[in-house]
Amino acid sequence: MLLEDAAQRRGAAEAVRDARRSLTYTELLDGSRRVAGALVERYGLRPGDRAVVQFPNVVDYVEVIFALFDAGVLPVFALASHGIADITDLVERSDAAAFLTVADDRDHAGALAQTRSTTSDGRTFHCIVGDPDAADPLAAHRVDAASSTGRSGAPSDIAFLQLSGGTTGAPKLIGRTHDDYLYSVRASAEICGLDATSVFGVVLPVSHNFTMSSPGILGAVHAGARIVMVDATDARTVLDAVATQRITHLSAVPPLVAAWLDSPEAGRHDVSSLTVLGVGGAKLARAQAQRVPGLFGSATLQQVFGMAEGLVNYTRLDDDPETIVGTQGRPISPADEVRVVDADGQPVADGVEGALQTRGPYTIRNYWGGASPESFTEDGFYRTGDRVVRDERGYVTVVGRDKDQINRAGEKIAPAEIEGVLVTHPAIRDASVVGVPDDRLGERSVAYIIPAAAAVAGGDVPDPIAVRGFLRESGLARFKIPDDVFIVDDFPTTAVGKISKNSQRASVATPALDDP
Q: Which residues of the chain form contacts with ligand J2J (CB under 6 A)? A: 165, 209-210, 213-214, 280-283, 303-308, 312, 328, 384, 386, 398, 401, 407, 412
Of 32 and 407, nearer to ligand J2J (C-beta) is: 407
- In the bound complex, what is the minimum distance in angstroms from residue 361's beta carbon to ligand J2J? 15
Helix/strand number for the chain, H first, E second: 16, 24
Which residue's C-beta sits nearest to ligand J2J? 306
Percent helix, strand, coil in the chain (nearest 5)? 30, 25, 40
- Identify whether the C-beta of residue 333 lies closer than 8 Å to the C-beta of residue 309: no
Contacts of 113 (CB under 8 A, 6+ apart): 127
Of 49 and 309, nearer to ligand J2J (C-beta) is: 309
Distances (CA, A) of 415 to 168, 170, 513: 8, 9, 20
**Residue 347 amino acid letter:** P
Among candidates 262, 271, 212, which has minimal Cα distance to 239?
271
Of 97 and 299, nearer to ligand J2J (C-beta) is: 299
- Identify whether the C-beta of residue 58 lies closer than 8 Å to the C-beta of residue 16: no
Of 209 and 300, nearer to ligand J2J (C-beta) is: 209
Backbone φ and ψ for 293, nearest 5 degrees, come out as: -60, -30
- In the bound complex, what is the minimum distance in angstroms from residue 381's beta carbon to ligand J2J? 14
Of 49 and 86, nearer to ligand J2J (C-beta) is: 86
Distances (CA, A) of 95 to 178, 284, 322, 329, 441: 21, 37, 48, 37, 34
Helix (H, G, I), strand (E, B) or coil at 370: helix
- In the bound complex, what is the minimum distance in angstroms from residue 160's beta carbon to ligand J2J? 13
- In the bound complex, what is the minimum distance in angstroms from residue 28's beta carbon to ligand J2J? 23
Of 248 and 397, nearer to ligand J2J (C-beta) is: 397
- In the bound complex, what is the minimum distance in angstroms from residue 355's beta carbon to ligand J2J? 11
Of 281 and 435, nearer to ligand J2J (C-beta) is: 281
Of 13 and 170, nearer to ligand J2J (C-beta) is: 170
Indicate the DSSP class of residue 251: E
- In the bound complex, what is the minimum distance in angstroms from residue 498's beta carbon to ligand J2J? 22
Angle between helices 84-93 and 108-115 (to 10 degrees): 50
Of 33 and 401, nearer to ligand J2J (C-beta) is: 401
Of 149 and 184, nearer to ligand J2J (C-beta) is: 184
Helix (H, G, I), strand (E, B) or coil at 170: coil
Contacts of 101 (CB under 8 A, 6+ apart): 53, 54, 55, 108, 109, 127, 128, 129, 130
**Residue 330 amino acid letter:** R
HSE-up (13 A, CA, CB side) for residue 470: 19
The rounded distance, in Å, linking the Cα atoms of 456 and 427 is 8
- Tell me the CA end-to-end span of the chain in Å, nearest whole number: 55
Of 75 and 306, nearer to ligand J2J (C-beta) is: 306
- In the bound complex, what is the minimum distance in angstroms from residue 397's beta carbon to ligand J2J? 9
The rounded distance, in Å, linking the Cα atoms of 81 and 472 is 12
Give the E-state strand segments of 107-182 in sequence order.
126-130, 158-163, 173-177
Q: Pairing relation of β-strands 330-331 and 310-314?
A: antiparallel
- In the bound complex, what is the minimum distance in angstroms from residue 279's beta carbon to ligand J2J? 7
- Please classify residue 264 by burial: count the beta carbons closer than 10 Å to its beta carbon, then call 0-12 exposed, 13-18 middle and 19+ buried: exposed
- In the bound complex, what is the minimum distance in angstroms from residue 161's beta carbon to ligand J2J? 13
- In the bound complex, what is the minimum distance in angstroms from residue 387's beta carbon to ligand J2J? 9
Of 23 and 282, nearer to ligand J2J (C-beta) is: 282
- In the bound complex, what is the minimum distance in angstroms from residue 181's beta carbon to ligand J2J? 10
- In the bound complex, what is the minimum distance in angstroms from residue 315's beta carbon to ligand J2J? 10
- Identify whether the C-beta of residue 388 lies closer than 8 Å to the C-beta of residue 396: yes
